[in-house]
Structure 1
């Protein structure tokens, strides 16, 4: 897997954990979360809060100037907002692709049956999903994985059921399950980067389901977060 260096922290990490910033032909910097835009680019591995702090202090411009070997460019004031919107879109698009390929299922009954059979690789919930429903499906997942007592639960997404339903073209998409291991990895790659950039807060049980995700502020890290978790120290 190719690695890239964050222009703000200097840390080297797998490119899929970072966000690329591309220099457009008009001299403006724009987010390129898929890393495919032509031309010169630079990479960041920090949260939105840290990015906006660095931008306000002029450190983002300095880091980009060194990485791009270019002194004449513009950075939009709403760069953080644009990155977050692209990460959100990329994650929802990925879920839509998995839905169309048949590796994503929805509906409490279908998910519970698949979970008890050991067929679920990743469990996801809308942000407004009921706690009882989440706990019931998590329990079925633990039973199917012979993992009772672990406290493992699914991921709570930073979007509600209406947004999920619109993205997937399904009615009342509240709970989702990924039934293929590679598909689960693909979804987690997008989801972890989005959650890290936004600082989406989840409880410890949710983090157990995703070792790449950072803990909420003030808690000790329990796994390996995407590059940039400690980036605030650099600003």
Structure 2
């Protein structure tokens, strides 16, 4: 699993303090994470629940993604990339880990499980954008976003995969000016979704750029998008907008972290 500190204030990967046992170091890392914590059944690493993917058993015994963690019964949590999952499936590691999580070996892993997970994460991320759009927390249109950016009201910036370089650069510059961060690399992030896909998700016409003006809404969108993008890996589709590069700062969310409630069970 990757280091998420710079993205969402996730796991603290700082070296263990001298004299700490491995168990104490692991607990310290868990205690630095916001919200309920779960353990990835494949890597053994801990992360906040919204950053992981829950796998659950369908009534017919198939293992299916439960990205909103609503399905009843026991589940297994994973935080690996698609490539890592495919390797774990091929080597039988996922089957063994799920057998321990489910407390049974009576289940089947669909051949297209990675595809099912990717599709579910994409749908969840697009649904989240749609919800924020309907709640009035989301802007579309270069002029509206630029105005919010220059006035310091912009908290996150995203672009369609087929957005033009010029529009992306202008909005990034407006955001840096409004945030008093000129000279920094603050910029938006090109999503692996075209204009028609984003337009359908938001129920608006010709969605090229997306801006979020509420900090909490930006955090919710960031979590949904990051989980999807982490799983499918970098640059899954051709993205002409220069902000598609890894490390693009789609969100400027910051804040102090609070203590967490640690639950290491699988449910």
TM-score by length of 2: 0.77
Write the mapping of 1:54-203 to structure 2, written as runs, cut at 5 A.
54-201=88-235, 202-203=244-245
Distance 1:210 1:179 in 2: 11
Deviations 1:152-194 (A, max 9, x none): 1101111011100111111100001000000000000000000
**Could you tell me whether the CA contact under 8 Å between 2:81 and 2:232 is conserved in 1?**
yes
Moved over 4 A (4+): none
Distance 1:50 1:74 in 2: 19
Structure 2's unaligned 5+ residue stretches are 1-34, 236-243, 254-267
Question: Alpha-carbon deviation of 1:71?
Answer: 1.1
Over aligned residue pairs, what C-alpha RMSD do you find?
Answer: 1.4
Deviations 1:30-63 (A, max 9, x none): 1000111111111011001110111011111011
Distance 1:103 1:200 in 2: 27
**Could you tell me whether the CA contact under 8 Å between 1:153 and 1:205 is conserved in 2?**
no
1:20 aligns with 2:62: no
TM-score by length of 1: 0.87
Structure 1's unaligned 5+ residue stretches are 213-235
How many residues align structurally?
Answer: 211
2:77 maps to which of 43, 48, 62:
43
Higher relative contact order (CA 8 A, sep 6+): 2
